Structure 1
């Protein structure tokens, strides 16, 4: 077994790696891509102090004061997930919602050894949302975030693998992790571990590839497909999993095939009915294969891929009242910036983003390109009319926001 391990002293604080290098791995992006990404687990001891990111107080606030509903939380015990009815209840007068979290029921489940799984923290907890967005931008693959809160000496789930890569970030307490090599390397999203339950169980009985205890500040990277199980030690354990949902060549092939089929919809012969009495591919298959191959040769999946990629993440949060105030107070010296995580793309006269598209006259393009550099610019630099239009569209925000 050869696990990649780094310590806080291994490299400079960033090494050009942004969140990846500064907080998670102590590796630059190129080094991580070459030696680790999708290949082997990587353990980074004392990667960072994550007290700014998440905490026990954050768990209590989310569970008891935020009015969360399912599926923002799951509860698991001894490898099984509890039914939602075991930890939800009506919200009371004025809120006709039957599935809000019941903090009393959650406390009783937790005291009885259940693990609390706070899901999609990239939507509900700002520090985690910010880190997830930045990491997703750096990696080029969408990121989600969950928190696992496990009582002492308990586990939430049996040995299994995930269909996405994860960075395990230990927040408080300690947790023992046992890893085994994949039984189905690089699984696709529709190839869960339950499809290989027997092989997973057998592999979990073998010699571990890695058996280690994570302490606060440690980070463990797991490529998808690697078997793992974890158990809290002598105190409550809280860890985050930053789940990276990688794009694959298979996914690109799917979009290429869909783009080719869209082209074939304009082919009258392909739209034609098969002969009467047809009972199987037969001679027709060769004709269809030739036309499909030709369509694949000329199809461009890029627009479809870009559209799907934009839909896989959300832009930086936008406050309607702050945006309204910025519009009302707009002056030539007002500093503005591009809203974060918009995934903007300027093609010709059209700007496409996660919040829609806008067409511009030729004369506005220099200012639009200036906006896309990500720096702050005054409304006067851009032109008041253009600045107002982009503020209204949610593309620009006040530079202090």
Structure 2
């Protein structure tokens, strides 16, 4: 596979971004994406065997579905044996029997446990600037794991092995939020699924399918078994802005005020008067909303939903201990950060700068600001290039950045 992570699954990125992202499905054939072996480097049948039998896999990293229902974990998990007294490890022979009887296996969260997918998900998530998840679906021959449904996030379907027929129908609820799962509209979904599909296609190895959130879909393996990856993209919606605006609205005393004594909450006339005054107060407050405050809340929400690229703790510490001015460092891929400059009110003092990270903040002397900005600018730099007074200062700063997990060795 060549090109950016996104180009590997959609082809020309500009066409995808302008025409399909968040709007309409996109089918991309293997011939346009690198050939039928395009996704086997991410996962394979042999890799699935290893995950199920040699990695001590636990729930919820595996789900098993049969006839449209998810089976209880106790059907395929148990104790890990001597030295691994864990009650929910996957039992490979039980999984094998269930699969042989027609159950679909769903390997979940592979972006956290399978190295090729950890790297791929990191690249794709950085390119889309959104948190994502990767699951794998192994479907037995001529079987269907789940009934027609929709997801509340966008997905990329990457066919790894076998053939699978996908029937796609338009949304019954455009752009559903996470709280608006398809189960609440099961009758509408079923009725729509009985109609003519908008897209009826068979995915072959190396093919990819993009589905915006809300689009109905069902899939059935054809012939032999089918293995595909589903990459779920967590969206950021205008409703998220509304949620953060309302959270900030607690600052307005008019909106914190209690309702009148004795008010009947079921009386539309009484509630109507209070509603009018509340809407007026909210409208007044919204005109004063600070985009920086909203952005900070959205930042905190988004940053904690995705992890940066993994580091090797022992190798990282060894590198830091033996660091020299000639060694090169680069910012850790996927690291979310914001540096508040000296004098900025966020820096909480003119003699320091604050580096904000997911769930924490680090403080540095203000004279380190140019060196920190260089170290975190995305390019590889020799430690001796950092703009500080001498090599001793450069090594102290670089070692701290390494031991805090902010930069890694650049080879």
TM-score, with structure 1 as normaliser: 0.90
In structure 1, what is the equivalent of residue 376 of structure 2?
372
Q: 1:272 to 1:225 in 2, by over 3 A?
A: closer
Q: Distance in 1 between matches of 2:381 and 2:358?
A: 21
The number of aligned residues is: 380
Given that 2:376 and 2:407 are in contact with CA atoms closer than 8 Å, whether structure 1 keeps it comes out as no
Given that 1:342 and 1:355 are in contact with CA atoms closer than 8 Å, whether structure 2 keeps it comes out as no
Q: 1:273 to 1:151 in 2, by over 3 A?
A: closer
Q: 1:315 aligns to what SS in structure 2? A: coil
Q: 1:298 aligns to what SS in structure 2? A: coil
What's the CA shift string for 1:25-49, capped at 9, x where partnerless? 1122x32121001111101101231
In structure 1, what is the equivalent of residue 28 of structure 2?
44
Q: Distance in 2 between matches of 1:192 and 1:283?
A: 34
Given that 2:249 and 2:255 are in contact with CA atoms closer than 8 Å, whether structure 1 keeps it comes out as no
1:111 aligns with one of 100, 109, 118: 100
- Tell me whether 1:66 sits opposite 2:70 in the alignment: no
Compute the displacement of 1:273 (Å). 4.9
Q: 1:89 to 1:277 in 2, by over 3 A?
A: same
Compute the displacement of 1:286 (Å). 4.2
Q: 1:257 aligns to what SS in structure 2? A: helix
**Residues 178-257 of structure 1 correspond to what in structure 2 (within 5 A)?**
178-257=167-246
Given that 1:43 and 1:221 are in contact with CA atoms closer than 8 Å, whether structure 2 keeps it comes out as yes
Q: Distance in 2 between matches of 1:201 and 1:235?
A: 27
- Tell me whether 1:291 sits opposite 2:281 in the alignment: yes
Q: Distance in 1 between matches of 2:220 and 2:357?
A: 42
Given that 2:304 and 2:359 are in contact with CA atoms closer than 8 Å, whether structure 1 keeps it comes out as no
Q: 2:377 aligns to what SS in structure 1? A: coil
1:320 aligns with one of 313, 318, 333: 313
Q: 2:65 aligns to what SS in structure 1? A: strand
Given that 1:355 and 1:395 are in contact with CA atoms closer than 8 Å, whether structure 2 keeps it comes out as no
Q: 1:210 to 1:270 in 2, by over 3 A?
A: closer
Given that 1:147 and 1:240 are in contact with CA atoms closer than 8 Å, whether structure 2 keeps it comes out as yes
**Residue range with higher mean Cα deviation, 276-285 or 72-81:** 276-285
Q: Distance in 2 between matches of 1:283 and 1:218?
A: 58
Q: 1:380 to 1:210 in 2, by over 3 A?
A: same
Given that 1:257 and 1:296 are in contact with CA atoms closer than 8 Å, whether structure 2 keeps it comes out as no
Q: 2:187 aligns to what SS in structure 1? A: helix
In structure 2, what is the equivalent of residue 4 of structure 1?
none
In structure 2, what is the equivalent of residue 25 of structure 1?
10
Q: Distance in 1 between matches of 2:130 and 2:378?
A: 20
What's the CA shift string for 1:189-220, capped at 9, x where partnerless? 11111111111111111112111111110001
Q: Distance in 2 between matches of 1:141 and 1:328?
A: 34
Q: Distance in 1 between matches of 2:274 and 2:242?
A: 23
What's the CA shift string for 1:100-128, capped at 9, x where partnerless? 11101000001111110000111111111
Q: 1:327 to 1:201 in 2, by over 3 A?
A: same
Q: Distance in 1 between matches of 2:108 and 2:255?
A: 46
1:351 aligns with one of 334, 350, 355: 355
Q: Distance in 2 between matches of 1:99 and 1:392?
A: 34
2:364 aligns with one of 360, 363, 380: 360
Q: 1:318 to 1:355 in 2, by over 3 A?
A: farther
Q: 1:233 aligns to what SS in structure 2? A: strand
In structure 2, what is the equivalent of residue 384 of structure 1?
395
Given that 1:51 and 1:171 are in contact with CA atoms closer than 8 Å, whether structure 2 keeps it comes out as yes
Compute the displacement of 1:185 (Å). 1.3
